[in-house]
Amino acid sequence: MSEIELHRKLLGDAQRNAAFYAALKAVIHPGVSTVLDIGAGTGFLSFLARRLGARSCTLIEYADTLDLAEQLARRNGIDGLTFIKAHSAEVRRRLSVDIVVTETLGNYALEEGFLETAIDARRFLKPGGTLLPARLRQFVAPVLSDRLQVDIDVWSRIGYALDFTPARTVCLNNMFVKTVLPQDLGDSPAAARCWDDLDLHPQRAAPPSRRQCTLRWPAQALAAREVRGFALWWEAELVPGIALSTSPFAPPTHWEQIYLPLLDTVALAPGDTLELTLMSDTRIEVGVRVTWRTRLLRDGRVIAEQAQDSLRGRL
């Protein structure tokens, strides 16, 4: 995808734009606040901040869109901007600002280095400064319909007396960007679980890049007896009371959800328990690695287990 196509989607997302505008308006003190915009792209958030009265804005962006941001600023008569073409982690210039905003969230929330960027960005804040978003929560729910699985698991349908089992295994060790519908989750958000809660406030200890959680669902808590995979989404609290959500049950944004397929359908009997262990590792030396281990428990015993790893999905 080209950079401009990415930004076309971003800027065409009214939910996103309105949420960031409201959040910036809530924290900017006109004529006083200084803002640092990390991953500034076309400069949209800095333009909003200046229009809301920020005294100055510094834009950090390593892509060529920074040149476009300068053109757009001139065209719209927006001054008070400083442009730095670099990755924020490489910036050694002494900066001290009131507000840092970074919208580096992906369909899988942490795939664009959001956590590491946000933690590193805290060094640019004045004491008592504001980091935006302030909190990120990630959710997971079992997928009960077969719609998504049928779409990606084509391997047994190829035909011509060919066995593509090794290719299927590689394929199903991947995360898929999909539009998950409420009916895929039994039309109820009740089965959703928060598996990761990142408090990014500058006063808090820095959360580690390796995140892990084990969750369980009793069979009676699910609206169906067969589970095909898991759906992931996130909610970012920009400032208290203002949030962005990619939940299938929330108004749609340009972001979609993540589908984690299973190698085999899990069939639950009454009294069974579904167990999922999720691990996310976004350390710089790792990149993005997600693993998901699924177990079927009966009378406290593991009677079936399958483990998947996004590293095994790479060719």
Question: What are the structural domains, with CATH classification, of the chain?
Answer: 3-103 (3.40.50.150), 136-313 (2.70.160.11)
Per-residue pLDDT reduced to its tens digit, 244-262: 999 999 999 999 999 999 9
For the stretch 186-236, pLDDT in tens is: 999 999 999 999 999 999 999 999 999 999 999 999 988 999 999 999 999
Q: What is the pLDDT of residues 152-172, one digit of tens each?
A: 999 999 999 999 999 999 999
Confidence (pLDDT) at 1: 64
Average pLDDT in the chain: 97
Please give the model's pTM, rounded to 2 decimal places: 0.96
Q: What is the pLDDT of residue 169?
A: 97
- Show the low-confidence residues of the chain (pLDDT under 50): none
Tell me which residue has tokens 């169906």.
224
